Amino acid sequence: MQGEILEGLAFTGDEFTPRNVKIVIENGHISEMTESKTASSQWIVPAFFNAHTHIADTVGMDTPIDRPLAELVAPPNGLKHRLLRETPPDRLVSAMQDTIRFMKVTGTLGFADFREGGKAGVDLLNQAADPSVGMFVFGRDGGEFAAQGFGLSSAKGTAAEEEAVRLAKQAGKLFAVHAGEAGVKDIEAAFALDPDLIIHATHFTKAHIREATDRDIPIVICPRSNWLLGATADARRPPVHEMLDAGCRVFLGTDNVMFVAPDMFAEAAFLQTIYKIDSIDILRMMTDGFSLMGRRGRIEVGGSADLLLLDGGYAGRWTQDPLTSLITRLGSRGITRVISRGNTISL
């Protein structure tokens, strides 16, 4: 779609500053943004990036959480991995397609997935892919060479693991690892592998946060997953405020689709309620993962037109803080239109 003009209250620039604007979209990009006098109840929000998912385990949706974390999700024999092995490939593809569609209609236009099952697993995800949703795949067990990155379940400090990471990096892949989810034991081994991305950091100490910040390693937090799977029952874990205070780059993810709906608005609302994080920081966490794909995730002239349009009528009449109301009042059910690179996606 070319030459479209949108009007409304847009959350613009680096600070997501709410401004009444007219936005011109040309060739998939924002070519112009000017102040608008027209009162519109439409809110315009940058699309989200879900920085950590396992979408194949959609096939185990809402399996009861009735055993310890390791027995549920740890490879190779956790319940999840048994389920994935037992599911025929066409059902896995169909489940992943459904979840990508769910993410899209709830405002997510990019995600980073940990894909199990080696190269075959990565191939199935590519079959499920949707061109309007950006995808950064972390494969494993050989799948990393068919993907953009290597995703390690958890570091154990073995020579085999070190070699796998070395080969992946040599092939130009990014390396991501779960660390500090259930405790502190796997954290040093994770840092020793020089990761490009850390997932969870639930039990990171100040020193760990310092290290991640100094080495400019972004952390993906997945708070609802941590609570549901018993990795925390404490609003200080993961230590989100300390991460932000240290200047660490923090992204938001929803983790296993098996247990958590990959709705970024829902994750944001949880983060706001339980962790009392400022809305502006939450918006950053919801969009900054686009940096994995070399994109910015902001509404700005020259930026890609990846936008959510929402009905802001009710909140717009009463709110004292649009950024907060966006999360607490509108949420994904307020979305009326999703635009990916200038093209409207049917909801």
Minimum distance of Zn ion from residue 199's CB (angstroms): 5
Residue among 198 and 339 whose Cβ is closer to Zn ion: 198
Minimum distance of Zn ion from residue 80's CB (angstroms): 10
Residue among 255 and 267 whose Cβ is closer to Zn ion: 255
Task: Print the binding letters for residues 148-187 with Zn ion: x by CB under 5 A, - otherwise.
Answer: ----------------------------------------
Could you give the CA distance from residue 48 to residue 289 in angstroms, rounded to a whole number? Answer: 8
Residue among 16 and 175 whose Cβ is closer to Zn ion: 175
Q: What is the DSSP string of 255-282?
A: EETTTS---HHHHHHHHHHHH---HHHH
Q: Which stretch binds Zn ion (CB under 5 A): 79-87, 154-162, 249-257, 280-288?
A: 249-257
Residue among 255 and 306 whose Cβ is closer to Zn ion: 255
Minimum distance of Zn ion from residue 125's CB (angstroms): 15
Q: Which stretch binds Zn ion (CB under 5 A): 63-71, 232-240, 255-263, 275-283?
A: 255-263
Q: Which stretch binds Zn ion (CB under 5 A): 12-20, 137-145, 211-219, 247-255?
A: 247-255
The footprint of Zn ion on residues 106-145 (CB under 5 A) is none
Q: Which stretch binds Zn ion (CB under 5 A): 131-139, 213-221, 240-248, 254-262?
A: 254-262
Q: And the tokens for 68?
A: 């310890």
- Name residue 197's beta-bridge partners: 176
Per the CB < 8 A criterion, the answer to whether 93 and 128 are in contact is yes
Report CA-CA distances (Å) from 306 to 29, 259, 294: 8, 28, 14
Residue among 107 and 253 whose Cβ is closer to Zn ion: 253
Q: Which of 248, 172, 177 is nearest to 215 (CA)?
A: 248
Minimum distance of Zn ion from residue 231's CB (angstroms): 11
- Name residue 12's beta-bridge partners: 17
Residue among 8 and 238 whose Cβ is closer to Zn ion: 238
Report CA-CA distances (Å) from 67 to 79, 254, 260, 299, 316: 10, 20, 16, 44, 45
Minimum distance of Zn ion from residue 293's CB (angstroms): 19
Could you give the CA distance from residue 78 to residue 187 in angstroms, rounded to a whole number? Answer: 21
Q: Which stretch binds Zn ion (CB under 5 A): 116-124, 231-239, 250-258, 335-343?
A: 250-258
Residues 6+ apart with CB under 8 A from 187: 179, 180, 203, 204, 208
First to last CA, the chain: 17
Residue nearest to Zn ion (CB): 255
Minimum distance of Zn ion from residue 288's CB (angstroms): 18
Minimum distance of Zn ion from residue 1's CB (angstroms): 36
Residue among 55 and 165 whose Cβ is closer to Zn ion: 55
Residue among 12 and 53 whose Cβ is closer to Zn ion: 53
Could you give the CA distance from residue 255 to residue 112 in angstroms, rounded to a whole number? Answer: 10
**SS percent in the chain: helix, strand, coil, step 5:** 40, 25, 35
Query: φ and ψ at 93, to 5 degrees?
Result: -60, -45
Task: Print the binding letters for residues 204-233 with Zn ion: x by CB under 5 A, - otherwise.
Answer: ------------------------------
Residues that bind Zn ion (CB under 5 A): 255
